[in-house]
Structure 1
């Protein structure tokens, strides 16, 4: 069987570490198994550098056995029976056989150590993760037909799905995540159990759910994972804005299916990621969520048709709220929300009617997100009208060409006013304070509108602005003019 051949090849690759570790345990009278995801990945021919082992030795015995052999040892998970170690660049987690009991309320088990590999494998999440390899004999242990499930690309549970998900509801998210990461299909009984038990995901902390969602979105087929979440009802509790995009469509008020459109945009955004780079979680979140403001802004137009005015504004607010609840970092939240807010900006470009000023503002508003924004607006084209799609692609190309040209001439990455804060204060006789920041912002907007100005022109424009905004202000005695530069810098950072 090809899968077994792959596993043998992978085991040979790690054999020095595995053999040494197995010998240590055998000498002490204990068995040691490669287990779980490590076996699954070995069978798929893609074993990584993080290895999972299980043993009949108790945690304190494991600590004694690996101390002195490993390059480093840690016991952060020892309360749950896990000891960690590194050796020759490999990370090993060694866990004592488990036979846990769950209270059905939290996902924290009453830790109970087991005495057999079969008992340990039964408590694992899916049959494809419930296989083991006896490192001493190289024999496969597969009491729950994980090999057959792996070949069929099916996710099923060793125990009943109800038992498995009742023990740990996070496993429902893992089902969706493995669907994305491995391209597998959940067994019908697994999907049915997810539908009945979806609300139990609320027992899980938002942080743990967020980790699984992020891994799902960074998988090879995230659309399938999202679809399983939505079809099972899991998304109603984790990401309810996504199933809410399945808007009813009637013959008089037709529009694209927003949910299906968003899934296509997600796939097309992924296609635009550079080969060889890590999956772009921010871009993928923005692609999936860019239209979540549409349900709340949908208006039926008399005579037929539908409008979604300002859905990008509403959507950005919704993104912030949802991602905060999922405990994403502030950076991810703000970047995704900004992309959602800006994703319609391009549609005003038309056939190139934008002035250079509009192009500068587009670039400046996008900032470090410009490349992602360009990918998002390209991915947002899902029309089946080939002529329209080609016209849009030409417009995208034209805009990017103009951005490159203006950037080369004007260093758009660092747009600044033509006069700095110190010179503003000197010319206008201003003390440090908010008025200096307002003058700085005026000059920045002028720079965006007209491009670089020569010094005399910038001074003249500043003086004209001052006639309407400054009256009889003189520097305060004893104040350091340099403080104004700090004020301007603070204003600029907040701008």
Structure 2
């Protein structure tokens, strides 16, 4: 089933219903657009004596006015029949999903997957189904996760099949399951994560019975692989309305199992903004980071949605529960929560099987998110600015976004003062970058030059000399080769 696009800019705000006339108009327009595929394929399967229907996500997205060239179909034909038809019609074909009854092909810009009607059975201790083929379209739709994904359009006749009220649920923007949610989530616990993800992607509310089932069955998510949980979490965080999905995970208890650091924040108070808890502050920082994403595209070439900056915003304060200390005057401190938070972030991302590059990027941002507050009103030396840039490395633009997003004070004067101060820091970085190429800071002598000047072979001492010259470069800026040689010889003489 095709997932919703990560960005749905033309959707109404969450909670606003859709007009049925608009839904009908949208699906008609989309079916006309994809007619070269659906009508032709429908005719080919019909000629072979089999049913074919557009199903799932493409139908839902068509009703929402969304366009996609990835189309999912269900058919009464066996996989070998589907393969024969698609091989004759398409430009290329594949059968990696054959064990699930799925054959795929590409035709020009279109990507098509056709799956034989299924009526899967699930082992209670696994989310992997025992695949068995069904014989009706309605039966196939009944095994799907939500009613808005359990609609179909028979082709080539374009008859809409909606046995579970998906059209009305889509119009009212609500997520329900075709049958009892307890049965659906027992079959596949990952569907609980998908409920939160679809809420975040589509701006839908979740039916009370679904929320109740998610709450009662949250611990069932433990049988789902970390990789699949991770993939759903990434899609949720990169969605247009991540607060909706994250709030649902926390309220149902699912977050206790997949991202326990998030609900832990509900119990903490922020040292700077004691009128709001750190949990709400964190969600606000995430939303503000999303608003600042255009900066990443303009300055860093990073297209939205950017998971790294969003997840860093979500995790930036997770060290606070471990570092909370109560002072005698009633204040609360969270000293070193940046360092502790980076360690917790790394551990959680490793458990969720994120890539090494993503783990390094996010944990670095969490560890550095407080560094700017040492800048005060501009007292940093140029050496401190160089170190800020050096430590941020490739994540500098994302650090700019996270630091700016981390300001959630309601005090306008304070917020404006912080913004002006960070503007000044960025201006200094740009000036120094133009003068000194900060992005590629390195010593003024390389390893070969160090060995030649000091007359030493490769080894630990070369590394120590290189590190010393790097510190001199950060403290004093660029030096000529002659100056660097003098500094190196003085260091070597003093060391000896």
Q: Do they fold alike, i.e. is TM over 0.5?
A: yes
Aligned residue runs from structure 1 range 125-140, under 5 A: 125-140=145-160
| Distance in 1 (alpha carbons) for counterparts of 2:339 and 2:466 | 27
Q: Is 1:184 aligned with 2:204?
A: yes
| Distance in 1 (alpha carbons) for counterparts of 2:398 and 2:31 | 40
Residue 15 of structure 2 corresponds to none
Residue 30 of structure 2 corresponds to 10
Residue 164 of structure 1 corresponds to 184
Aligned residue runs from structure 1 range 106-255, under 5 A: 106-247=126-267, 254=274
| Distance in 2 (alpha carbons) for counterparts of 1:425 and 1:64 | 68
| Distance in 1 (alpha carbons) for counterparts of 2:454 and 2:161 | 82
Residue 10 of structure 2 corresponds to none
CA RMSD of aligned residues (A): 1.5
1:212 CA drift (Å) = 0.4
Check whether the contact 1:202–1:237 (CA below 8 A) recurs between aligned residues: yes
Residue 449 of structure 1 corresponds to 475
1:89 CA drift (Å) = 1.1
Deviation track 1:277-297 (CA, whole Å, cap 9, x = no partner) reads: 331000011000000000000
SS in 2 for 1:246: helix
1:428 CA drift (Å) = 1.0
Q: Is 1:32 aligned with 2:58?
A: no
Residue 64 of structure 1 corresponds to 84
TM-score normalised to structure 1 length:
0.93
Deviation track 1:466-495 (CA, whole Å, cap 9, x = no partner) reads: 1233x4xxxxxxxxxxxxxxxxxxxxxxxx
Check whether the contact 1:132–1:142 (CA below 8 A) recurs between aligned residues: yes
| Distance in 2 (alpha carbons) for counterparts of 1:60 and 1:468 | 80
Deviation track 1:416-470 (CA, whole Å, cap 9, x = no partner) reads: 111121221111111111110110111011101110112332122111211233x
More divergent stretch after superposition (429-438 vs 448-457) = 448-457
| Distance in 2 (alpha carbons) for counterparts of 1:250 and 1:388 | 16
Residue 65 of structure 2 corresponds to 45
1:334 CA drift (Å) = 0.6
Q: 1:293 aligns with which of 316, 319, 325?
A: 319
1:47 CA drift (Å) = 2.6
Check whether the contact 2:93–2:104 (CA below 8 A) recurs between aligned residues: yes
Q: Is 1:77 aligned with 2:103?
A: no
Check whether the contact 2:270–2:276 (CA below 8 A) recurs between aligned residues: no
| Distance in 1 (alpha carbons) for counterparts of 2:454 and 2:320 | 48
Residue 351 of structure 1 corresponds to 377
1:87 CA drift (Å) = 1.0
Using CA pairs below 8 Å that are at least 6 residues apart, which structure has the higher relative contact order?
2
Residue 490 of structure 2 corresponds to 464
Aligned residues: 469
Aligned residue runs from structure 1 range 281-430, under 5 A: 281-430=307-456
| Distance in 1 (alpha carbons) for counterparts of 2:227 and 2:143 | 23
More divergent stretch after superposition (100-109 vs 173-182) = 100-109
SS in 2 for 1:274: helix
Residue 492 of structure 1 corresponds to none
| Distance in 2 (alpha carbons) for counterparts of 1:437 and 1:424 | 9
Check whether the contact 2:270–2:278 (CA below 8 A) recurs between aligned residues: no
Deviation track 1:136-176 (CA, whole Å, cap 9, x = no partner) reads: 21110001110111011101000110011011000001001
SS in 2 for 1:166: helix
1:299 CA drift (Å) = 0.2
- Stretches of structure 2 lacking an aligned partner (at least 5 in a row): 1-20, 298-302
Check whether the contact 1:357–1:449 (CA below 8 A) recurs between aligned residues: yes
| Distance in 2 (alpha carbons) for counterparts of 1:28 and 1:467 | 89
| Distance in 2 (alpha carbons) for counterparts of 1:311 and 1:21 | 58
1:255 CA drift (Å) = 6.4
Residue 92 of structure 1 corresponds to 112
More divergent stretch after superposition (413-422 vs 389-398) = 413-422
Change (3 A) 1:16 1:368: same
Change (3 A) 1:116 1:261: same
| Distance in 1 (alpha carbons) for counterparts of 2:421 and 2:364 | 22
1:406 CA drift (Å) = 0.5
- Stretches of structure 1 lacking an aligned partner (at least 5 in a row): 472-495
SS in 2 for 1:83: strand
Residue 20 of structure 1 corresponds to 40
1:317 CA drift (Å) = 0.5
